[in-house]
Amino acid sequence: MVETLMRKTRIAVLGTGGTIAGEASSASDVLSYQDSQLSAADTLAPLAPYLPREVELLALQISQLGSENFSTDTWLLLAHAISRLDQTEEPDGFVLTQGTDTLEETAYFLHLALKTAKPVVVVGAMRPATAISADGPLNLLRAVQLAASPQVRGFGVMVVANERIFSAREVTKSHTSSIDSFCSPEFGCVGYMQNGDVKLHRMPSRHHTINSPFSVSGLQSLPKVDIVYAYAGAGSESIRAFLDGGTRGLVHAGTGNGSISSVHQMAYREAILRGVAVVRSSRTGSGLVSRNGAVDDDAFGSISSDTLSPQKARVLLSLALTLKQDAPELQRYFDNY
Ligand code: GLU
């Protein structure tokens, strides 16, 4: 007798809190609500009638935390949880629900560090679940549909928001409260969700996941990396405080093309002499920080961030410092990831 065994497409949904799990006392309140109230299973419940029959969901609560309270330990916890689930439950894809504030940092960390070709989709919402026109349920439905799609196998970690699909390296939150907050300046989205169908326009171009050298296997903590914000008249107090706090890397959120004031240069020189990595990025929000442009990186010993924002450069530097310490080798990571 020949038996056909049909295995359902299994998607693991990990909940961490955020606005997507938020509740307000009035449906018209979209601003002063409590985030991180509903469980992952609660947020999935309204989707049941719209999910294809061949999709089954596993729900797992990792935390109930606004993402402004995430730390590098939270990233590691999530990476370890996904890796473990990958082996024990063998899902076909993953969805991670979280607050939108630092969503892009978690997504880029997982994009660099996870060792899987399966789709991983990070998703949030700008309005609480109780709101009229809440965006969470549709975003979450699209995230599950995207994670179940074989079309995006090998794409690494993606973010889906307001019917657009973004690559984790490029996406950023760009608005305090609009449902159209997520975008990729300069690069645009990689595709769209059209009534649940995945419509791709391009692939992520930089290496990630199984093609990156980074791994969290056996890693219990990440090197401390801090961000220094540049502004007219800024002193070097923050740099000195970070050095006293034991920082291993400093990301300069520089003006323009990653320029560094003479006051900051003096403090960074000391940092570099102490073996602290210094990465030049830009606070402008888009564009490429050119190596040996606004600063002679070869002579100064600094690294340019390519197109990474300060917060994304910090993610890459944290992982890069687990493998290398020298500026030229760290620069190669920024050129390739
Ligand atoms: N600040 C909260 C967080 O990041 C809510 C923001 C949101 O989820 O949109 O979790």
| For the chain, percent of residues with pLDDT exceeding 90 | 97
Region 120-135: what's the mean pLDDT? 98
| pLDDT tens digits for range 198-252 | 999 999 999 999 999 999 999 999 999 999 999 999 999 999 999 999 999 999 9
pLDDT of 4: 52
User: Same domain, yes or no, for 14 and 85?
Assistant: yes
pLDDT of 57: 97
1 domain-assigned? no
- Ligand 1 atom at minimal distance to the Cα of residue 17: 10
Alpha helices (H) along the chain: 40-44, 72-88, 103-113, 136-147, 237-244, 262-273, 297-300, 310-320, 327-336
Active site residue 100: no
User: Same domain, yes or no, for 207 and 237?
Assistant: no
- Domain end point (choices 211, 245, 270): 211
Coil, strand or helix at 311: helix
User: Same domain, yes or no, for 174 and 322?
Assistant: no
**CB of residue 129 inside a 6 A radius of ligand 1:** no
Per the listing, tokens 């530097």 go with 317
User: Same domain, yes or no, for 174 and 53?
Assistant: yes
User: Same domain, yes or no, for 230 and 257?
Assistant: yes
216 domain-assigned? no
User: Same domain, yes or no, for 142 and 263?
Assistant: no
User: Residue 61 gets which letter from DSSP?
Assistant: E
Region 110-132: what's the mean pLDDT? 98
Residue 1 has pLDDT above 80, yes or no: no
pLDDT of 3: 64
Residue 171 has pLDDT above 90, yes or no: yes
| pLDDT tens digits for range 260-271 | 999 999 999 999
- Ligand 1 atom at minimal distance to the Cα of residue 35: 5
- pLDDT class for 297, splitting at 50, 70, 90? very high
pLDDT of 330: 98
pLDDT of 52: 85
Domain count, the chain: 2
187 domain-assigned? yes
| pLDDT tens digits for range 8-41 | 999 999 999 999 999 999 999 999 999 999 999 9
For β-strands 55-61 and 191-194, DSSP reports them as unpaired
| pLDDT tens digits for range 79-113 | 999 999 999 999 999 999 999 999 999 999 999 99
Residue 2 has pLDDT above 70, yes or no: no
Range of 292's domain?
A: 225-336
User: Same domain, yes or no, for 59 and 204?
Assistant: yes
User: Same domain, yes or no, for 33 and 157?
Assistant: yes
Residue pair 109/79 in contact (Cβ under 8 Å)? The answer is yes
pLDDT of 53: 87
User: Residue 232 gets which letter from DSSP?
Assistant: T
Hey, which of 68, 140, 311 would you mutate to test ligand 1's pocket, going by the most ligand atoms within 8 Å of its Cβ? Answer: 68
Separation between Cα atoms, residue 154 and residue 279, nearest integer Å: 29
Selection from 276, 281, 288, 200 nearest residue 243 by Cα: 276
Give bridge partners of residue 227 from the DSSP assignment.
251
76 domain-assigned? yes
146 domain-assigned? yes
**CB of residue 18 inside a 6 A radius of ligand 1:** yes
- pLDDT class for 329, splitting at 50, 70, 90? very high
**CB of residue 104 inside a 6 A radius of ligand 1:** no
The one catalytic residue in 4, 9, 16, 19 is 19
pLDDT of 7: 83
- Domain end point (choices 211, 244, 270): 211
Residues 6+ apart with CB under 8 A from 254: 230, 260, 280, 281, 282, 283, 289, 294
**CB of residue 136 inside a 6 A radius of ligand 1:** no
CATH number of the domain that residue 252 is part of: 3.40.50.40
User: Same domain, yes or no, for 170 and 237?
Assistant: no
CATH number of the domain that residue 120 is part of: 3.40.50.1170
Q: From ligand 1's centre to the CA of 135, what distance in Å?
A: 13
Separation between Cα atoms, residue 37 and residue 155, nearest integer Å: 31
User: Same domain, yes or no, for 73 and 174?
Assistant: yes
pLDDT of 6: 75
Q: What mean pLDDT value characterizes the chain?
A: 97
User: Same domain, yes or no, for 194 and 304?
Assistant: no
Q: From ligand 1's centre to the CA of 18, what distance in Å?
A: 5
| pLDDT tens digits for range 47-62 | 999 998 899 999 999 9
- Domain end point (choices 179, 211, 243): 211
For the record, the structure tokens of 300 come out as 């100064």
219 domain-assigned? no
User: Same domain, yes or no, for 309 and 196?
Assistant: no
